[in-house]
């Protein structure tokens, strides 16, 4: 081994030591799926049934069989309502399609049988489940003075109230299961802590070093929040680590551009940040609660932005499509029948 290292050094090659934590993530599969030229957004993974739910807007909520690598169904009615993605609640055998027209379409996860759509607002981006209050928080279209978060009871889906936040771009959110619910705000760049049970904001924190705060994941064991930040003219795109008790930013590191998804795996201590414009997924290691180490940047596709994760088998999932820009109007067009479902592993 010593001779090999000396030879490599003389040739200018780098040899990784066994202690180096590079994982070697790579693309496992790329499966074409039908689609005209509709936009797309959130994807989610149902571990029990090994299915992906793809928010394919005018194409509807598409359900993808991971084992057989094929679409099995488009949820009835969701093309008309323009599905932006699904919230999955396996403990209630419940799924919810979040629709751009301001409706939600409930369905049974086991049978994929939909119920009638329910009108909640003028527009919906996404929704989140807060385990601490056993309620759903729905991100609706913003008004001039902020966003109304609609709160629903589970499993009845009856509206129990709303929470007003001063953001015009409410984004990803997650709860700690003990009564605190954390919401990322892209405009202005802030982090909100919310008591969903009592439907009130309990803290509002600035995020220095994190412009256009967008994606969010929560670490229960260490009470840490991971924020994916798109950056600005003066602040580079970054991942920020926040103390969930105080709102203090304790660590930042540069990531790719146009982040739209962050996932944390507490078993492997890995943070994944998906970045559409840079066509990569940054992989960052959590050494301890306050120490982090960038490991690698996995090359993806320029349109891969939101991600889902199979915690058992350690696989990432994403969706993308071919695009073409009109040089006169600068409009980016999605090319028909170019959609792919990607999986990544190590």
Residue 17: how many CB atoms within 10 A of its CB?
A: 6
Contact 289, 222 (CB under 8 A): yes
Report the pLDDT averaged over residues 139-156.
95
- Report pLDDT digits (tens) over 88-101: 999 999 999 999 99
Contact 225, 216 (CB under 8 A): yes
Compute the Cα dihedral for 92, 224, 23, 41 and give only its sign. Answer: positive
Q: Is a pLDDT exceeding 50 seen at residue 27?
A: yes
Compute the Cα dihedral for 131, 133, 136, 138 and give only its sign. Answer: negative
> Of 301, 205, 189, 186, whose CA–CA distance to 250 is shortest?
205
How far is 27 from 340, CA to CA, in rounded Å?
12
* Domains of the chain, residue spans: 22-39+207-346
In the numeric block, which tokens belong to residue 239? Answer: 């991942």
Contact 303, 283 (CB under 8 A): no
Contact 285, 273 (CB under 8 A): no
Any idea what the Cα angle at residue 280 is, between residues 317 and 86, rounded to 5°?
35
Q: What is the CATH number of domain 22-39+207-346?
A: 2.130.10.10
Exposed / middle / buried, residue 19 (Cβ in 10 Å: 0-12, 13-18, 19+): exposed
Tell the residue number behind the tokens 């103390």, with chain if given. 243
What's the pLDDT score for residue 155? 96
Contact 339, 32 (CB under 8 A): yes
How far is 125 from 138, CA to CA, in rounded Å?
8
Q: Is a pLDDT exceeding 70 seen at residue 76?
A: yes
- Report pLDDT digits (tens) over 295-333: 999 999 989 999 999 999 999 999 999 988 889 998 888
How far is 203 from 190, CA to CA, in rounded Å?
10
Exposed / middle / buried, residue 306 (Cβ in 10 Å: 0-12, 13-18, 19+): buried
The chain-wide mean pLDDT, for the chain, equals 93
Compute the Cα dihedral for 89, 90, 96, 98 and give only its sign. Answer: positive
Report the pLDDT averaged over residues 160-177.
96
Pairing of β 147-153 and β 135-140: antiparallel
- Report pLDDT digits (tens) over 200-237: 999 999 999 999 999 999 999 999 999 999 999 999 99
Tell me the C-alpha to C-alpha distance, in Å, between residue 52 and each of 47, 80, 169, 228, 244: 9, 20, 26, 23, 30
Percentage of residues in the chain having pLDDT higher than 70? 94
């Amino acid at each position: 081994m010593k001779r090999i290292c000396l030879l490599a050094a003389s040739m200018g090659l780098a040899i990784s030591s066994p202690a180096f934590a590079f994982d070697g993530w790579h693309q496992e599969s790329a499966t074409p799926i039908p689609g005209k030229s509709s936009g797309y957004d959130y994807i989610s993974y149902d571990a029990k049934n090994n299915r992906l739910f793809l928010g394919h807007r005018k194409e509807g909520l598409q359900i993808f069989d991971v084992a057989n690598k094929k679409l099995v169904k488009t949820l009835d009615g969701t093309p008309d309502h323009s599905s932006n993605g699904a919230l999955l609640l396996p403990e209630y055998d419940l799924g919810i399609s979040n629709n751009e027209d301001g409706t939600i379409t409930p369905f049974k996860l086991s049978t994929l049988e939909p119920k009638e759509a329910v009108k909640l607002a003028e527009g919906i981006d996404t929704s989140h489940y807060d385990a601490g209050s056993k309620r759903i928080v729905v991100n609706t279209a913003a008004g001039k003075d902020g966003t109304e978060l609609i709160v629903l009871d589970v499993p009845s889906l009856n509206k129990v109230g709303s929470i007003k936040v001063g953001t015009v771009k409410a984004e990803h959110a997650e709860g700690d299961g003990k009564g605190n619910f954390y919401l990322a705000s892209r405009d202005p760049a802030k982090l909100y802590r919310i008591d969903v049970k009592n439907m009130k904001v309990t803290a509002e924190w600035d995020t220095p070093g994190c412009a256009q705060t967008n994606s969010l994941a929560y670490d229960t064991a260490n009470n840490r929040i991971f924020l994916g930040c798109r950056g600005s003219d003066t602040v580079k795109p970054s991942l920020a680590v926040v103390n969930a008790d105080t709102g203090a930013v304790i660590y930042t590191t540069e990531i790719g551009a146009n982040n739209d998804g962050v996932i944390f795996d507490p078993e492997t201590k890995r943070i994944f940040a998906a970045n559409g414009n840079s066509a990569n997924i940054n992989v960052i290691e959590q050494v301890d609660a306050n120490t982090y180490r960038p490991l690698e940047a996995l090359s993806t596709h320029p349109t891969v932005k939101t991600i889902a994760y199979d915690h058992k088998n350690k696989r990432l999932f994403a969706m993308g499509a071919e695009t073409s820009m009109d040089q006169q109007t600068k409009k980016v067009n999605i090319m028909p029948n170019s959609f792919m479902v990607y999986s990544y592993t190590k």
